[in-house]
Amino acid sequence: MNSAGENGDWQAAWKPVVDAVGRDFSDGTTVFGADPVERGAIRRFLEPLELDCALHTDPAVARAHGFADVTMPYTGLITWTIPPMWEPGQTLFDSAERDAQPVHSPINNQDMPLGPRTTGFFATGIEFDFLRPVVAGERVGRSGRRLVDCVPKETSVGRGAFLTWESDIVTEADGEVVARIRTSTYAYEPTPKGAVR
């Protein structure tokens, strides 16, 4: 995000973002997950949950219910929409500090062109509307990045804004919308240590 004056009204610096509610900040491209959904990854996802549903484990049962292969549990959908955090030759963390942030991340607001500069970021909520299950062999990604809400607020960690974004989750093969996702985050500038506000 852009820098804002230290002595300026910090809430006013968020007005361009508030005014942009409803705008799609994507460039029209769909960002796909690092890998297609595959049976082994579904199995690994199910193991710690002991989620015993034949639709996720038995191709014959899945086909008998009209699916081309085993289905991915809805709760795992976001895992397969995230592009790689790291690739060979890259550095993900350039600091060993306890609260170090990644140099780049597909899930933060570093590319936001409006509003004040922020260095802190964390997720505050997530909602899905599921239209159909994703099956093994499909690759999915996010299309669109609509700003749904922006609420500037000072919290105990710093000054920033709660932002809500909406995207469609689509298949790579034909762009079919299989779900809609709304993510809420808090992007902020941390309160300096020892500062009193």
- Whether 110 shows a pLDDT value over 70: the answer reads no
Backbone angles phi, psi at 36, to 5 degrees: -70, 160
Percent of the chain with pLDDT over 90: 67
Cα 191 from chain centroid?
25
Confidence of residue 157 (pLDDT cuts 50, 70, 90): very high
- Whether 21 shows a pLDDT value over 50: the answer reads yes
What letter would DSSP give residue 82? P
- Whether 51 shows a pLDDT value over 80: the answer reads yes
- Whether 107 shows a pLDDT value over 60: the answer reads no
- The pLDDT assigned to 8 comes to 53
CA atoms within 13 A on the CB side of 69: 11
Measured distance CA(34)–CA(37) in Å, rounded: 10
- Whether 197 shows a pLDDT value over 70: the answer reads no
Confidence of residue 2 (pLDDT cuts 50, 70, 90): very low
Q: Which amino acid is at 189?
A: E
Residue 112 lies in a domain: yes
pTM: 0.77
Residue 49 lies in a domain: no
CA atoms within 13 A on the CB side of 129: 6
Q: What is the mean pLDDT of residues 57-73?
A: 97
Q: CATH number of the domain that 168 lies in?
A: 3.10.129
Residue 60 lies in a domain: no
Residue 113 lies in a domain: yes
Contacts of residue 54, defined as CB under 8 A and 6 or more positions apart, other chains included, come to 61, 62
- The pLDDT assigned to 42 comes to 95
- Tell me how many domains the chain contains: 1
Whether 136 contacts 72, CB under 8 Å: yes
Q: Which strand (E) or helix (H) includes residue 55?
A: helix 54-57
- The pLDDT assigned to 18 comes to 96
Residue 100 lies in a domain: yes
Residue 71 lies in a domain: no
* Residue showing tokens 């009204």: 9
- Whether 3 shows a pLDDT value over 60: the answer reads no
Whether 85 contacts 106, CB under 8 Å: yes
Q: Are strands 140-155 and 30-32 parallel, antiparallel or unpaired?
A: antiparallel
User: pLDDT (tens digit, 9 = 90+) per residue, 164-180?
Assistant: 999 999 999 999 999 99
Residue 58 lies in a domain: no
Residue 69 lies in a domain: no
Angle 149-22-165 from CA coordinates, rounded to 5°: 50
* Residue showing tokens 């549903």: 53
Domain residue limits at 185? 12-36+77-190
- The pLDDT assigned to 90 comes to 86
- The pLDDT assigned to 186 comes to 95
